[in-house]
Amino acid sequence: MTVKIFDTPEVQNFLNTIAGFDQEGGSDRAKQILHRILSDLFRTIDDYDITPEEYWSAVSVLNALGQGTQFGLLSPGLGFDHFLDMRMDAADAEAKRTGGTPRTIEGPLYVAGAPEVQGTGRMDDGSDTDGETMWLNGQVRDTQGNPVAGAKVEVWHANSKGGYSFFDPTQSEYNLRRTIITDSDGRYAVRSIIPSGYGCPPDSPTQEVLNLLGRHGERPAHIHYFISAPGHQHLTTQINLAGDPYTFDDFAFATREELVIPANRIDDAGEIARRELDGPFSEVVFDIVLAKTDEAALQNRHARPRAKEREQDQASQLAGTARV
Ligand code: MBD
Ligand code: FE
């Protein structure tokens, strides 16, 4: 049974009613966008002859995604995060805001409120004995090459098992998360551990969707950054450590050629002593170039619900309310 009803007046009138086109209240923008999305989905159902079984199994996957707060994980997997980056890149190019370090996606695992250190500090709590010591450092400059002193460099990354503190309850609070203020020469330098790549939980609804596409859910070892300074464009980016099997095969599409950085093994006793470390370490150097801007909106990261900025209400929203 293959039927095609999308183009009938009944269905078209039905879509107008669903989208509230005949109602005074609500948001015109929401009505337009919902009308477009619902039209596209209805047409997909019609064109692919989607069965009730298929439709309801999709609803079930959506419920599981929501219950596990996994939309923020599937989102980069389906390329939405990178597509938004491509649009911001295009807007920057058009406005001639060029020459800075490239952006790449934030991902779902940032937590606000990490401890702040001046110039240098330590990010790991010392408990991850499988983690190889990392000396992560660099300089923040503007597009003319001038150092940016007092820039705010927020860094977060996974431990040796690919887990992030806050989301991984076995880690201490704010482990591997710091806010570093650059010194008078625009420099930052922190001791941490080399992160491992991240893999989507194999039994998760996110991986279930990826499996249907024949795709893996792996990310290469990477380190997240927010960098900001007055008069400069806020930068959300990441570095991907070179040599990881997934460096150029990231399920979240975050890798950019300019952001692939080697970790250089150093075992020279003088270098170890100079950094006050206790043994061989790997040095990762990431210098950052910020584009200038006077626009206040561009100096701040875009608004987005983030952990600890908004209390996540996990309670059921399905209880219902008495009619008025
Ligand atoms: C991560 O660590 C990450 O950065 C992204 C984008 C998705 C899943 C895990
Ligand atoms: Fe990450």
Average per-residue pLDDT in the chain?
95
Name the strand (E) or helix (H) holding 45. Answer: helix 28-47
The pLDDT value given to residue 258:
97
**Contact at 8 Å (CB) between 292 and 143?**
yes
Write out pLDDT tens, residues 234-268.
Answer: 999 999 999 999 999 999 999 999 999 999 999 99
d(CA 64, CA 74): 12
The pLDDT value given to residue 1:
65
Q: Whose CA is nearest to atom 2 of ligand 1?
A: 198
In the reported structure, the alpha carbon of residue 18 is separated from the centroid of ligand 2 by a whole-number distance in angstroms of 38
The pLDDT value given to residue 316:
41
Q: Whose CA is nearest to atom 5 of ligand 1?
A: 107
Q: Which residues, 6+ apart, have CB-to-CB distance to 52 below 8 Å?
A: none
In the reported structure, the alpha carbon of residue 109 is separated from the centroid of ligand 2 by a whole-number distance in angstroms of 6
The pocket of ion ligand 2, defined by CB under 5 A, consists of 107
In this model, does residue 144 exceed pLDDT 70?
A: yes
In this model, does residue 174 exceed pLDDT 50?
A: yes
- Among residues 16, 11, 6, 8, the alpha carbon closest in space to that of 50 is found at 6
d(CA 299, CA 97): 13
Pocket test for ligand 1, best of 71, 73, 244 (most atoms within 8 A of CB): 73
In the reported structure, the alpha carbon of residue 29 is separated from the centroid of ligand 2 by a whole-number distance in angstroms of 33
In short, whether 157's Cβ falls inside 6 Å of ligand 1 is no
Write out pLDDT tens, residues 177-226.
Answer: 999 999 999 999 999 999 999 999 999 999 999 999 999 999 999 999 99
Q: Whose CA is nearest to atom 4 of ligand 1?
A: 107
In the reported structure, the alpha carbon of residue 149 is separated from the centroid of ligand 2 by a whole-number distance in angstroms of 27
Q: Which ligand is nearest to the CA of 78?
A: 1
Q: What's the first-to-final CA gap in the chain, in angstroms?
A: 44
d(CA 139, CA 108): 26
The pLDDT value given to residue 20:
98
d(CA 151, CA 227): 7
In short, whether 100's Cβ falls inside 6 Å of ligand 1 is no
In the reported structure, the alpha carbon of residue 238 is separated from the centroid of ligand 2 by a whole-number distance in angstroms of 8
In this model, does residue 313 exceed pLDDT 70?
A: no
More confident residue, 41 or 317: 41
The pLDDT value given to residue 290:
98
